[in-house]
């Protein structure tokens, strides 16, 4: 039985999630909601970059989405700069008796002790009252900071520290709002952007750190953060636009979950706009970017995750991974008990329905079979 689904938000993550919602036989796409005026009325296939016509056209906001009666909505509207609006979106969808999975608001990946109790209670009570669930995930924060380290930690006899890292070149990332407004690239190095304002890093990644702490059964005394920035040595241009000489062109930050004076859980990001900047900072395991999970314990681990894609570079591949994690979680979220759901209480999200043999592999297999049967 297919699950009736709708999507809200067709930006970098939403567009790629939409591709799977259209092509995955587990789902029946019934609506798409957008904000950008020029996207209204366009076919879902067009918005997803597919050469097909679905007959589902984009409508403005949530009205058309709710009216279509989906079982689940994939919510990928921007939440980094519009946390309040994204939260209201989710509340309205839950109030309509619709399950929600998505990439925002990011703090709801694990909001306890990070978001206000009153807001958490309102989400939880609304979901329970209408018999639906909500699950928010991504890459980092997301599966690189919860699913992967939790799985590795489950093999350890002793753990002293978990460190989750993103090491990436963002020169090819074309999300101008994130590059300039959120991360502050292209801004003076002494003018902190939105996410480097005091306490914002601890808020943004606090959910991931507290979820890992709860998975380890430890109590954090505090979460602290630190950042440093590197100016551009000259003018240059990236996919999102120009970067002027002397403005921010590389950022490194750490968020540390402290037990006493010891950083028990650390999230570290090294983000460059050129690979030659700050060679003394951590380097990725593949050209362009990778994720890394380090566990100090018995045994210890260093695991590098190197996303790639035939349709784009490492940045594109990471966004595909975020979209895949979101969409593949839909059946588990629909079946889950009502309320806020997290990686700690959802069953292992599987990939049933996503196997697609490469036509080249089928050709090779056929030739192999013929050669061994003498035909």
Say if 353 falls within a structural domain: no
197 shares a domain with 113? no
161 shares a domain with 294? yes
172 shares a domain with 97? no
| pLDDT at residue 111, as a whole number | 94
Q: Which helix (H) or strand (E) holds 49?
A: none
pLDDT digits (tens, 9 = 90+) for 93-143: 999 999 999 998 888 999 999 899 999 999 999 999 999 999 999 999 999
CA–chain centroid gap for 176, Å, is 17
pLDDT digits (tens, 9 = 90+) for 247-260: 999 999 999 999 99
Crossing angle for the helix pair 83-95 and 117-129, nearest 10 degrees? 20
Q: Classify the C-alpha dihedral 180-186-191-195 as positive or negative.
A: positive
Residue 370 — pLDDT band, cuts 50, 70, 90?
very low
Say if 156 falls within a structural domain: yes
CA–chain centroid gap for 82, Å, is 16
Say if 272 falls within a structural domain: yes
Say if 231 falls within a structural domain: yes
181 shares a domain with 127? no
Span 59-88, average pLDDT: 90
186 shares a domain with 58? no
Q: What percent of the chain has a predicted confidence (pLDDT) above 70?
A: 95
Span 235-250, average pLDDT: 97
Span 226-244, average pLDDT: 97
Range of the domain at 241: 147-313
Q: Is residue 79 over pLDDT 70?
A: no
305 shares a domain with 166? yes
Residues 135, 341 contacting (CB under 8 angstroms): yes
Give the chain's domain count. Answer: 2
Span 28-37, average pLDDT: 96
Q: Which residues pair with 72 in a beta bridge?
A: 5, 99
Q: Is residue 171 over pLDDT 80?
A: yes
Say if 368 falls within a structural domain: no
Q: What is the CATH number of the domain that holds 64?
A: 3.40.50.720
155 shares a domain with 244? yes
| pLDDT at residue 359, as a whole number | 64
161 shares a domain with 282? yes
153 shares a domain with 261? yes
Mean pLDDT check: name the lowest of 7-11, 79-83, 90-94. Answer: 79-83
Say if 88 falls within a structural domain: yes
Span 157-169, average pLDDT: 97
186 shares a domain with 132? no
Span 328-346, average pLDDT: 97
154 shares a domain with 131? no
| pLDDT at residue 4, as a whole number | 98
pTM: 0.90
232 shares a domain with 288? yes
Residues 321, 193 contacting (CB under 8 angstroms): no
pLDDT digits (tens, 9 = 90+) for 197-225: 888 898 889 999 999 999 999 999 999 99
Say if 205 falls within a structural domain: yes
Q: Which residues pair with 135 in a beta bridge?
A: 101, 341
Q: What is the DSSP string of 50-103?
A: -S---S-BEEETTHHHHHT--SEEEE-S--SS-HHHHHHHHHHHHHTT-EEEES
Q: Which one has a higher pLDDT value, 4 or 192?
A: 4
Span 316-320, average pLDDT: 94
Average pLDDT across the chain, whole number: 92
Say if 366 falls within a structural domain: no
Q: Is residue 375 over pLDDT 50?
A: no
| pLDDT at residue 80, as a whole number | 65
């Amino acid at each position: 039985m297919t699950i009736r689904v709708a999507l809200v938000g067709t930006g970098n993550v939403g567009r790629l999630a939409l591709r799977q919602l259209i092509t995955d036989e587990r789902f029946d796409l019934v609506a798409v909601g957008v904000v950008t005026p020029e996207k209204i009325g366009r076919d879902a296939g067009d918005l997803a970059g597919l050469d097909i016509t679905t007959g589902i056209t984009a409508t403005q906001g949530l009205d058309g989405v709710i009216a279509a009666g989906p079982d689940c909505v994939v919510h990928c509207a921007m939440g980094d700069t519009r946390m309040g609006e994204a939260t209201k979106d989710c509340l309205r969808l839950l109030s309509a008796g619709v399950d929600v999975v998505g990439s925002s608001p990011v703090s709801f990946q694990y909001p306890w002790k990070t978001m206000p109790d009153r807001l958490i209670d309102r989400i939880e009570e609304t979901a329970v009252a209408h018999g639906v669930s909500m699950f928010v995930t991504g890459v980092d924060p997301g599966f690189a900071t919860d699913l992967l380290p939790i799985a590795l930690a489950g093999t350890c006899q002793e753990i002293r520290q978990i460190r989750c890292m993103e090491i990436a070149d963002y020169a090819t990332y074309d999300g101008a709002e994130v590059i300039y407004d959120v991360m502050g690239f292209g801004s003076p190095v002494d003018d902190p952007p939105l996410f480097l304002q005091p306490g914002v890093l601890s808020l943004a990644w606090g959910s991931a750190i507290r979820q890992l702490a709860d998975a380890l059964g430890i109590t954090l005394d505090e979460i602290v953060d630190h950042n440093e920035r590197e100016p551009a040595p000259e003018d240059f241009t990236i996919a999102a636009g120009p970067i002027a000489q002397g403005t921010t062109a590389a950022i490194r930050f750490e968020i540390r979950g402290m037990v006493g004076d010891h950083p028990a859980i650390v999230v570290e990001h090294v983000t460059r706009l050129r690979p030659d900047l700050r060679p003394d900072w951590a380097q990725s395991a593949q050209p362009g970017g990778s994720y890394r999970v380090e566990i100090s314990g018995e045994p210890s681990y260093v695991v590098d995750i190197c996303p790639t894609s035939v349709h784009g570079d490492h940045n594109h591949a990471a966004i595909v991974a975020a979209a895949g994690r979101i969409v593949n979680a839909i059946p588990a979220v629909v079946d889950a008990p009502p309320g806020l759901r997290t990686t700690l209480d959802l069953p292992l999200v599987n990939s049933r329905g996503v196997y697609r043999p490469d036509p080249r592999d089928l050709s090779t297999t056929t030739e192999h079979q013929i050669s061994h049967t003498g035909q």
